[in-house]
Amino acid sequence: MRPATAEEFPAFLRTTESAFHEDVTDDDLESWRTVFEPERSLAVFDGSAMVATAAIFTRELTIPGGLMSVAGVTAVGVLASHRRRGLLTRLMRRQIDDVRTAGESVAALWASEGVIYGRFGYGLAARHATVTLRTAGARLHPDLPAPAGRTTLVEPAGVVSRVAPLYDRVRRERPGHLDRAGAWWDRRVADPEHHRHGRNALRAAVHVDDDGAVDGYALYAVESIWNDGPEAKTSVREMVADGPAATAAMWSYLIGLDLTRSVEYWIAAPDTPFANMLQGPYRPRVELGQNLWVRLVDVDAALAARTYAAPFEVVLEVADAFCPWNAGRHRLAWDGATAACERTDAAADLALTTADLGAAYLGGTSLAALAAIGRVRELRPGTLAPVATAFKGAREPWCPEIF
Which residues are marked as active site? 117, 403
User: What stretches of 150-277 show up as alpha helix (H) in DSSP?
Assistant: 156-171, 182-188, 244-255, 274-277
Three-state secondary-structure class, residue 197? coil
309 closest CA partner among 262, 355, 360, 346? 360
DSSP 403: -
CB 397 within 8 A of CB 362: yes
Q: How far apart are CA 366 and CA 380, in angstroms?
A: 18
Q: How far apart are CA 264 and CA 259, in angstroms?
A: 15
Q: How far apart are CA 224 and CA 198, in angstroms?
A: 8
**CA-CA distances (angstroms) from residue 382 to 6, 312, 339?**
55, 12, 21
Q: How far apart are CA 317 and CA 352, in angstroms?
A: 6
Maximum CA pair distance of the chain?
Answer: 73
Q: Which residues lie below 8 Å from residue 90, measured CB to CB, with a gap of 6+?
A: 1, 44
Reported as type and span, the H/E element at residue 96 is helix 87-101
Q: How many residues does the chain have?
A: 403
Three-state secondary-structure class, residue 207? strand
